[in-house]
Amino acid sequence: QVQLRESGGGFVQPGGSLTLSCVASTSISDILGMGWYRQAPGKQREAVARIHRDDSVVLVDSVKGRFTISRDISKNTVYLQMNSLKAEDTAVYYCNFDTGYIEYWGQGTQVTVSS
């Protein structure tokens, strides 16, 4: 049973930075993409960032210029570097590994941006 484990969430003031990490418990073959989603209270889960097998990246408009997604295949890990954080970035962040026929999800890590 593959498990994804996020880490790096926490409390930060506006303008601060956090780096989220997500590691799979075992190597996963044929990953088409790795991504980060978030869900704020009372809102639907939204896709934040995704990195595809060909290293192409997609970011939601609200985080462009502030967030960076990267991965280390050898470590089965995907990262989300978050800079210039805003209150509206507050949410539970989930990582996702997609093979095209099955998706794996982490349990989520809380990010709170507040003064």
pLDDT at 30 over 90: no
- In 3D space, the residue among 104, 81, 94, 107 whose CA is nearest the CA of residue 31 turns out to be 104
Please provide the DSSP assignment of 46-91 as one string: EEEEEEETTS-EEE-GGGTTTEEEEEEGGGTEEEEEE-S--GGG-E
89 phi and psi, to 5 degrees? -85, -5
pLDDT score for 27: 85
The pLDDT tens digits for 57-67 are 999 999 999 99
* pLDDT of 114 higher than 90: yes
Residue 49 has pLDDT above 90, yes or no: yes
Confidence of residue 29 (pLDDT cuts 50, 70, 90): confident
